[in-house]
């Protein structure tokens, strides 16, 4: 049977549940995911030669990592050729591209340092999101940035974030659509603090200063990401969940929830509906923590599926800014992108293919036996046949056939890099 024939049969089965698969495929096609450029080069960027700092870490030494803008762009193009639909690229400030002999520090970055990315985006029909890079820098050596008691350091990072707002606005203008700009700082303490309030007060002051610059709020969607701990910051994190959610709510910016940034039994899927009740928009970093915030590649696991369900069944597709955030240096980096992106899409597809209205009714009517039965039976519906049809319709390889393409690229391109 062809992909199409299998799809027709699946369509009939889902139809009996009241799910219109054609409609589902159209919806899925229009859900953009922001693909993090930093999976391509182990979160290094082009503006420094130092290590990755800030309490985050990549492990592994798989060959072929991108180390120039040209290489990273080529790798992104390759990944996108294997991912169905139209997506965004999430850039970090450290991916600035300088002219030969030119180099400015992060507090002096300008839109022109991202002109090559804009050119790349226009050529490929890709829009961008953006992030200040408050780590991997001499001014962030002790992992204190926007909360630093050293006024010189604090001001440097305030200026950096202001520059990033201007760059985000430039990106939005050039691409003709909003740019989400996410602020995350590593700031924290290895050991028991003597003052938990002071650093948070300084962080608050810094954010106030950053957001005070004039910018177009329709174009730049400023987000603020929380964290529970980082390596070397085990005892105290300045940008805690309470801090970021409160700050965002009070100041009209967007809360960003990274599902690696909570205590291990706390799940982001359960937070989404609460956040949706009180916020016009929320932002997500979908990742996979294994025992800690390890940033493993996103799989089609239960929590990824639950996150997708909370977006889909609460009609929040347009209210959730969806981005991925992981960095695995131990496997082929393009495959890591493709697997994670396709898995996020599969999770969304799975949610779209659920008879959500019917399941909700069963819950409200207290018919819990039937609810359990139905939720479990759906698991063996021909989901894969619908997914394959989606890939075929969108002109990307079906099933595992994309991997041969990645292997060929590895052979011909990645392994030839030094």
Active site residues per annotation: 184, 225, 227, 258, 261, 285, 293, 295, 325
Q: What is the rounded CA–CA span in Å between residue 358 and residue 360?
A: 5
Q: Which does 154 bind (CB under 5 to 8 A by kind): Zn ion, ligand RNT, none?
A: none
Q: Which does 211 bind (CB under 5 to 8 A by kind): ligand RNT, Zn ion, none?
A: none
Q: What is the rounded CA–CA span in Å between residue 292 and residue 307?
A: 19
Identify any residues that bridge with 35 across adjacent strands, giving them in sequence order. Answer: 89
- Per-residue binding string, ligand RNT, 42-81, x by CB under 6 A, is -x------------x-------------------------
Q: How far is the CB of 293 from ligand RNT (least distance, A)?
A: 6
CB of 74 or CB of 181, closer to ligand RNT: 181
Residue 65 and residue 334 in contact, taking contact as beta carbons nearer than 8 Å: no
CB of 10 or CB of 253, closer to Zn ion: 253
Q: Which does 170 bind (CB under 5 to 8 A by kind): ligand RNT, Zn ion, none?
A: none
Q: What is the separation, in whole angstroms, between the first and last Cα of the chain? A: 45
Report, in angstroms and rounded to the nearest whole number, the Rg of the chain calculated over CA atoms: 22
| Cα dihedral sign, 139-145-149-153 | positive
Residue from 131, 148, 168, 240 binding ligand RNT (CB under 6 A):
131
Q: How far is the CB of 55 from ligand RNT (least distance, A)?
A: 7
Q: Which does 131 bind (CB under 5 to 8 A by kind): Zn ion, ligand RNT, none?
A: ligand RNT
129 binds ligand RNT (CB under 6 A): no
Please give the full DSSP string across 177-224, using - where no structure is assigned. Answer: S-EEEEE----EESS--S-SHHHHHHHHHHHHHHHTS---TTTEEEEE
Q: Is residue 411 classed exposed, middle or buried when 0-12, 13-18 and 19+ CB atoms within 10 A define those classes?
A: exposed
CB of 52 or CB of 359, closer to ligand RNT: 52
Please, which of residues 305-364 interact with ligand RNT by CB under 6 A? 325
- Tokens representing 164? 């990033």
- Tokens representing 231? 């390596």
293 binds Zn ion (CB under 5 A): no
Largest CA distance in the chain: 69
Element housing 170 (H / E): helix 151-175
CB of 202 or CB of 285, closer to ligand RNT: 285
184 binds ligand RNT (CB under 6 A): yes
Q: What is the rounded CA–CA span in Å between residue 268 and residue 307?
A: 7
Q: How far is the CB of 305 from ligand RNT (least distance, A)?
A: 21
Placement of tokens 């989400």 in the chain: 180
Residue from 258, 328, 385, 410 binding ligand RNT (CB under 6 A):
258
CB of 219 or CB of 285, closer to Zn ion: 285
- Tokens representing 255? 């809360």
Instruction: Find the part of the chain contacting Zn ion (CB under 5 A) among 24-32, 42-50, 94-102, 282-290.
Output: 282-290
CA angle centred on 172, ends 169 and 173, rounded to 5°: 85
Residue 217 and residue 165 in contact, taking contact as beta carbons nearer than 8 Å: no
Q: How far is the CB of 259 from Zn ion (least distance, A)?
A: 9
Q: How far is the CB of 184 from Zn ion (least distance, A)?
A: 6
38 binds ligand RNT (CB under 6 A): yes
CB of 56 or CB of 83, closer to ligand RNT: 56
CB of 295 or CB of 385, closer to ligand RNT: 295
Does residue 102 sit in helix, strand or coil?
coil
The site for Zn ion (CB under 5 A) is made up of: 258, 285, 325
The site for ligand RNT (CB under 6 A) is made up of: 38, 43, 56, 131, 184, 225, 227, 258, 285, 293, 325
């Amino acid at each position: 049977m062809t992909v199409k024939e299998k799809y027709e049969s699946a369509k009939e089965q889902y139809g009996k549940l009241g799910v219109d698969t054609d409609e589902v495929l159209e919806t899925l096609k229009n859900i953009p995911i922001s693909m993090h450029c930093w999976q391509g080069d182990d979160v290094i960027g082009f503006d420094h030669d130092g290590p990755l700092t800030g309490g985050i870490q990549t492990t592994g030494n798989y060959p072929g990592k991108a180390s120039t803008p040209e290489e990273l762009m080529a790798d992104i193009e390759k990944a996108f050729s294997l991912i169905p639909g139209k997506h965004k690229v999430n850039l970090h400030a450290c991916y600035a591209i300088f002219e030969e002999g030119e180099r400015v520090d992060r507090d002096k970055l300008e839109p022109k340092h991202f002109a090559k990315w804009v050119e790349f985006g226009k050529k490929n029909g890709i829009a961008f999101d953006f992030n200040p890079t408050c780590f991997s820098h001499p001014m962030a050596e002790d992992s204190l940035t926007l909360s630093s008691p050293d006024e010189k350091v604090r001001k440097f990072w305030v200026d950096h974030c202001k520059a990033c707002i201007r760059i985000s606005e430039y990106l939005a203008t050039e691409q003709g659509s909003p740019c989400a700009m996410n602020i995350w700082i590593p700031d924290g303490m290895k050991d028991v603090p003597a003052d938990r309030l002071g650093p948070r007060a300084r962080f608050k002051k810094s954010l106030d200063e950053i957001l005070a610059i004039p910018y177009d709020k329709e174009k730049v969607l400023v987000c603020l990401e929380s964290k529970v701990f980082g390596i070397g910051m085990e005892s105290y994190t300045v940008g805690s969940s309470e801090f970021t959610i409160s700050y965002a709510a009070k100041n009209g910016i967007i809360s960003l929830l990274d599902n690696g940034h909570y205590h291990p039994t706390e799940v982001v899927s359960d937070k989404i509906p609460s956040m949706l009740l009180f916020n016009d928009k929320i932002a997500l970093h979908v990742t996979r923590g294994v025992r800690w915030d390890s940033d493993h590649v996103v799989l089609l696991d239960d929590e990824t599926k639950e996150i997708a369900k909370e977006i889909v069944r609460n009609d929040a597709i347009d209210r959730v800014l969806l981005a991925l955030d992981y960095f695995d240096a131990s496997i082929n980096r393009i495959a890591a992108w493709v697997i994670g992106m396709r898995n996020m899409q599969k999770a969304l597809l799975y949610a779209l293919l659920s008879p959500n209205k019917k399941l909700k009714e069963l819950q409200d009517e207290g018919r819990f036996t039937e609810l359990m039965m139905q939720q479990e039976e759906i698991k063996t519906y021909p989901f894969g046949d619908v997914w394959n049809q989606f890939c075929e319709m969108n002109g990307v390889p079906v099933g595992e056939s994309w991997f041969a393409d990645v292997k060929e690229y590895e052979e011909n391109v990645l392994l030839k890099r030094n």
